[in-house]
Chain A
Amino acid sequence: MFWLAEGLIYRSQESSFHSLDPRTKLFFSIMLFSMSLLSNTIPEFIIILSVILFIGLVSKVLKRMSKTIVFSISFLVMIFIINVLVGYDIIFSIIVSLRFIAVVSSSSIFFLTSSPDELELVMKSFRLPYDLIFAFVTAVRFVPVIMLDALQILDSQRSRGLEIEKGNLMKRIKNYLPVLVPLIVQSIIRSEELAEAMESRAYGFSKKKTSYYSLHLRKRDYLAFILCLIFIIQFILIIYLLHI
């Protein structure tokens, strides 16, 4: 389970890409994501994937990005096989599979290089409702805590003779109840305690909030935008030339 998490969870790191304003990083991701959806030929995908690879190298997240891709290989193979079986030709099936990798890895770039703090600020800058933002932040903050809870619950129940590895499928499913019920109950209790704490710190005082932190676009962000635009223009030109 850990390698799925590896590909999506932010880890603190230093790189020129990491230091960009999260909105810039988001722009990169969205641009690559859209290009992946709009492209139709193998050369286009080779270019897109090389750019993604390059960004992955610069931001030093390549290793973890590749882990997500490895995880999605099974889907990839499935997509490929289904396409072929349904009757599409091999080239088309390859393109569909490549599109899948491009879409997954371009989104993964944003999440791997942006901390939850930055995600929060991006959402704030888009004026999303604060309740939604706060729900997101709380979820990310407490996911590791809930995972720890689950492990402790498992320890308690195993100490009472619960053996989750044993038995047929029905028994195994039944064995998850002693773990799930306490987990759910604890999560509910946790959310009640959180609600108390939130209100006690003036959550909901007024719609007008100040923000101690803010996002600022800097020279490097403008530079990155320009590079991005140049890339898009060149990409369109190349494709146009290839089609002639």
Chain B
Amino acid sequence: METLAPIIQFVDFSFSYSNSSSPILKNVNLGINEGEFILLVGTSGCGKSTLLRCVNGLIPHLYNGTYQGKVIVDGEIVSEKNVSELATKVGFVFQNPENQIFMFSVEKDIVFGLENIGVEREEIRRRLDWVLKSLNIEHLRYRAPYELSDGQKQRVAIAGTLVMHPKILILDEPTSLLDPRTAYEFILTLKRLNKELGITVIVVEHRIDLLTNVADRIVVMDNGKILHDGSLKDIIRLKDLHLHGVAVPPIVALQNSLSESKIHLPNFCLNVKDFAKMIKKEASNR
């Protein structure tokens, strides 16, 4: 069977910002395959936001520093391409919904990227209609940014990147400012895009509980290095994960704690419903 090269590859990669003596990323080796949904976590300052910016070229092009090693995205070496050139492969959604909508209306903002890369009008119209439908924001088409809620703004932000047909979507703490329900719906939208369109998704989030049922793989960073990298189900059971800033959901912490006391349960469950089902089964077996 043929193994495909990862769509994102970090090879012996290190980076220090120019105003700092110590490297923020230290000898990172990481491969991400097409279609994966990755959760990237770690304490504040561990380098996760920096790592994200190395994928679409913001580092090194917008930020000066010492750049060592290679970052390869969809066959291209990142340092040799402009951020604007990589924008057709990698979409980036930032934390603050306000500062990524430039235009006076949703429609105008969404077509911004397509105008920049010179897509012709008919194609722009087609993609615009498609993305508005995909993200359920047709009713917001002519609204001005100040009329939108934060949750709506974040969806418009995704629309603006999705319309470029990127293979990879990167999101830096996109739900920070959203209330729990809106945040959860947002994550579900991401999962749908990942499944239906095969887009590789990398999300940096502190709110792990939103993603336990959604992310295939979790990468834990600490102090510029990759500490853990594996399936969510495996990694989240590790001891001392909270010491690396990871907010382990209570139901998972409970199971970890029980297994520490040598209590063995048939399954390890990532959400309350599954756990409850398992316990009910245990109870009926008695």
Instruction: Check whether chain A touches chain B (CB < 8 angstroms).
Output: yes
- A residues adjacent to B (C-beta < 8 A): 115-117, 134, 137-138, 140-141, 144-145, 190, 193-206, 208-213
B94 and A196: CB pair below 8 A? yes
Q: How far is the CA of A115 from the CA of B103 in the complex (A)?
A: 12
Contact B118 A210 (CB under 8 A): yes
Q: Are A199 and B62 in contact (CB under 8 A)?
A: yes
Give the residues in chain B near A212, CB-CB below 8 Å.
108, 111, 114-115, 121, 124-125, 128
> A200 touching B114 by the CB < 8 A rule?
no
Kindly identify which residue among B62, B90, B118 contacts A205, using a CB–CB cutoff of 8 Å: B118
User: B residues engaging A (CB < 8 A)?
Assistant: 53, 56, 58, 61-62, 82-85, 87-88, 90-92, 94, 96, 98-100, 102-105, 108, 111-121, 124-125, 128, 145-146, 160-161, 164
A200 touches B56 (CB 8 A): yes
For the complex of A and B, the 3 pairs showing the least CB-CB separation, nearest first, are A202-B87, A197-B100, A201-B113
16 new A-B contacts at CB < 8 Å, known A196-B92, A201-B112, A212-B111? A137-B103, A137-B104, A141-B102, A141-B104, A197-B100, A200-B58, A200-B92, A201-B87, A201-B160, A201-B164, A202-B85, A202-B164, A204-B82, A205-B87, A210-B115, A210-B120
The CA of A120 and the CA of B82, in the complex, are separated in Å by 26
A-B contact count (CB 8 A): 104
Closest Cβ–Cβ distance, residue B235 to chain A (whole Å)? 29
Q: Is the interface of A mostly helix, strand, loop or mixed?
A: helix
B52 shortest CB reach to chain A, Å: 11
Contact A200 B161 (CB under 8 A): yes
Q: Quick one: which of A115, A140, A197, A201 contacts B116, CB cutoff 8 A? A: A201
Structural contact, A116 and B104, CB atoms closer than 8 A: yes
Q: How far is the CA of A115 from the CA of B142 in the complex (A)?
A: 14
- The CA of A43 and the CA of B145, in the complex, are separated in Å by 47
9 CB contacts below 8 A, A to B, read: A197-B102, A198-B102, A199-B83, A201-B113, A203-B84, A204-B82, A204-B84, A209-B116, A212-B115
Contact B108 A117 (CB under 8 A): yes
* Interchain CB contact under 8 A, B88 and A202: yes
> CB within 8 A of B58: which of A137, A194, A199?
A199
Considering the complex, give the chain A residue whose CB is closest to the CB of B99: A193
A209 in contact with B104 given A145-B98, A193-B96, A193-B99 (CB within 8 Å)? no
Q: Which residues of A contact B121 (CB under 8 A)?
A: 210-212
CB contacts (< 8 Å) of A115 on chain B: these are: 104
Tell me whether A210 and B84 are in contact (CB under 8 A).
no
What is the minimal beta-carbon distance from A196 to any residue of chain B, in angstroms? 6
Contact at B117–A205, with CB atoms within 8 Å?
yes
By beta carbon, the residue of chain B nearest A204 is: B84
**Complexed CA–CA distance, A64 and B101 (Å):** 29
Contact call A205/B119, Cβ cutoff below 8 A: no
Chain B residues positioned under 8 Å from A196 (CB to CB) = 53, 58, 62, 92, 94
In the complex, chain A residues whose CB is within 8 Å of the CB of B108: 117, 212-213
A186 to B58, CA, bound (A): 21
Contact status of A205 and B92, CB under 8 A, knowing A115-B104, A141-B104, A197-B99: no
- Tell whether A193 pairs with B100 under 8 Å between CB atoms, given A199-B87, A201-B161: yes
